[in-house]
Amino acid sequence: MNKLNENDCCSGLEDLLLPRMFKALGDPNRVSILIHLAECCAPCSVSEVADFCPVDLSVVSRHLAILREAGILEAQKRGKEVYYTVCSQTLVDTLRSIADAIESCCPVDANLEGN
């Protein structure tokens, strides 16, 4: 009858579920930018990304910055242009770590059958 058994199995979750990262992925335009960059498989400049986005170039620039600050994208300046790429390894590792933490905490999906 341990109704509130606060085990610390999900201790890592607090460090993984960073609102900044999810906030960055909470906007449709940013998601489509991310997908575009992932499909591109090559660094894209701000202007190139903007060609695929229905919003102003300045807005795209801000979206890219938000994704970069969230650790989802990486930026590299080459001359006048700034090229963005997906931090795929970081992103993949983070997502899997979150999945592992949740799984280890709530093993068999012990959902609403209790009590």
Partner DNA sequence: AATACATTTGCATAATGGCACAAACGTGAA
Partner DNA sequence: TTCACGTTTGTGCCATTATGCAAATGTATT
**Interstrand relation of 44-45 and 73-78 (parallel, antiparallel or unpaired):** unpaired
User: For residue 29, how many other CB atoms are within 10 A of its CB?
Assistant: 13
Comparing CB distances to DNA, the nearer of 21 and 66 is 66
* Cα 10 from Cα 43, distance rounded (Å): 36
Q: Out of 65, 98, 102, 105, which residue is the one contacting DNA (CB under 7 A)?
A: 65
Stretch that binds DNA, among 10-18, 64-72, 96-104, 106-114 (CB under 7 A): 64-72
Among 45, 13, 10, 52, residue whose Cα is nearest residue 29: 52
Q: Considering the complex, what minimum distance in angstroms separates the CB of residue 6 from a copy of itself?
A: 5
Q: Which residues pair with 25 in a beta bridge?
A: none
Comparing CB distances to a copy of itself, the nearer of 41 and 57 is 41
User: Which chain residues interact with DNA by CB under 7 A?
Assistant: 23, 26-27, 29-30, 45-47, 50, 54-59, 61-66, 75, 77, 79-83
